[in-house]
């Protein structure tokens, strides 16, 4: 059982190690923090923390550094998160305001978060399987080229260039659009996908309009299937190379997880959030996912009734209070923007 002062000493070690990148000794704790006790007393507290496997000496006669278990206790006993400065909050606001659609918003979200924290930023797309297709639009570029636009009531927009086998005039393109809209508009993404699947299971009709409808139906089906799939948007992968010395081993598993996404989707999906909607998975807690060298922190955001997560991936030696505060602020701002967008529809 760690005493209250022991927790304060652990907090000091974590903070100093994050700031200095150097093992922390009892003398530096006495010099930098106002404990009101001697260095010998601090050494006794550190010995107890070492017995609890919360800190460790990386070298003989060196100071101490936190273990993964120590970081976990530190995060679990955070009394409060370090608030963002007014400049940081203004940066989030200016970066995310004026977005064009959900795709643009999520890309800006991860760019903003990685700039704030210097970590790899991750945002999960909401699941759109229950979203409804609200609108289908075509832009005829002439000859056989058509841009097909599909919009859901949750703000997801898809644009895809279609090449038809035969040239159509504007009136014929309008007829194709009506046929596609009849198949999917007003239906959920799941039901629309099913309707298109049934339609495509039948041979195309004899006219060139029938054949065009069949071609475009296949493209829309692919786009709706994409809406149903969980996926991530990420930024800041280059920071891993700059922080390679912060990892005990190779950063290759992290790069692989970023590339494939499936591992991070599973990990973020299994993290348990606290009452503030924040979650952290630290070091060896990530061993089942092949990421024992990394920490992941995440916050829940609300996408018009569907919950998803935004978070950070980085070394275990990270500034947890600041990073958790940044994730929380960005998640709240993201929820607010999506709510305002929904109310404006």
What does the pLDDT look like over 304-322, one tens digit per residue?
667 789 999 999 999 999 9
Residue 245 within a domain: yes
**69 shares its domain with 208:** no
Residue 15 within a domain: yes
| Domain assignment of residue 112, given as a range | 86-126+231-343
**198 shares its domain with 259:** no
Average pLDDT over residues 82-97: 86
Average pLDDT over residues 66-84: 88
Average pLDDT over residues 129-146: 86
Report the percent of the chain where pLDDT is more than 70: 96
- Assess contact for 126 and 154: CB atoms under 8 A: yes
**53 shares its domain with 22:** yes
Give the span between the Cα atoms of 312 and 320, in whole angstroms. Answer: 10
What does the pLDDT look like over 262-319, one tens digit per residue?
899 999 989 999 888 899 999 999 999 999 989 999 999 987 667 789 999 999 999 9
- Assess contact for 310 and 334: CB atoms under 8 A: yes
Asked whether the whole model's pTM tops 0.85, one would answer no
How far is CA 246 from its chain centroid?
22
Counted domains in the chain: 3
Q: Among 77-86, 170-179, 195-204, whose mean pLDDT is lowest? A: 77-86
**147 shares its domain with 57:** no
- CATH number, residue 266: 3.30.450.40
What does the pLDDT look like over 13-53, one tens digit per residue?
999 999 998 999 999 999 999 888 899 999 999 999 999 99
**141 shares its domain with 193:** yes
**237 shares its domain with 251:** yes
**241 shares its domain with 327:** yes
**112 shares its domain with 245:** yes
């Amino acid at each position: 059982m760690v005493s209250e002062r022991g927790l304060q000493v652990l907090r000091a070690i974590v903070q100093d190690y994050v700031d200095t990148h150097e093992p922390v000794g009892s003398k530096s704790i006495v010099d930098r923090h106002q404990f009101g006790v001697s260095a010998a007393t601090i050494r006794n507290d550190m010995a107890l923390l070492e017995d609890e496997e919360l800190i460790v000496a990386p070298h003989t006669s060196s100071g101490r550094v936190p273990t993964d278990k120590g970081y976990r206790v530190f995060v679990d006993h955070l009394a409060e998160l370090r608030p963002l400065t007014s400049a940081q909050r203004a940066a989030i606001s200016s970066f995310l305001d004026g977005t064009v659609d959900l795709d643009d918003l999520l890309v800006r979200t991860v760019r903003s978060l990685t700039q704030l924290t210097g970590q790899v930023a991750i945002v999960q797309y909401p699941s759109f399987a229950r979203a409804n297709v609200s609108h289908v639009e075509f832009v005829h570029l002439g000859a056989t080229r058509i841009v097909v636009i599909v919009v859901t009531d949750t703000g997801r927009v898809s644009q895809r260039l279609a090449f038809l086998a035969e040239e159509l005039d504007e009136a014929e393109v309008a007829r194709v659009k009506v046929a596609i809209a009849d198949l999917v508009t007003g239906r959920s993404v799941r039901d629309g996908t099913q309707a298109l699947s049934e339609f495509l299971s039948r041979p195309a009709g004899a006219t060139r309009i029938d054949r065009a409808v069949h071609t475009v139906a296949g493209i829309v089906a692919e786009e709706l299937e994409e809406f149903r799939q969980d996926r991530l948007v990420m930024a800041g992968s280059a920071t891993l190379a700059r922080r390679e010395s912060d990892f005990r081993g190779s950063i290759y598993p992290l790069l692989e997880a970023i590339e494939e996404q499936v591992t991070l989707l599973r990990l973020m999906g299994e993290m348990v959030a606290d009452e503030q909607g924040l979650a952290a998975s630290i070091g060896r807690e990530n061993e089942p996912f092949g990421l024992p060298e990394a920490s992941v922190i995440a916050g829940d955001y609300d996408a018009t009734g569907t919950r998803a997560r935004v978070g950070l991936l980085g070394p275990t030696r990270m500034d947890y209070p600041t990073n958790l505060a940044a994730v929380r602020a960005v998640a709240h701002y993201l929820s607010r923007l999506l709510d305002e967008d929904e109310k404006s529809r």
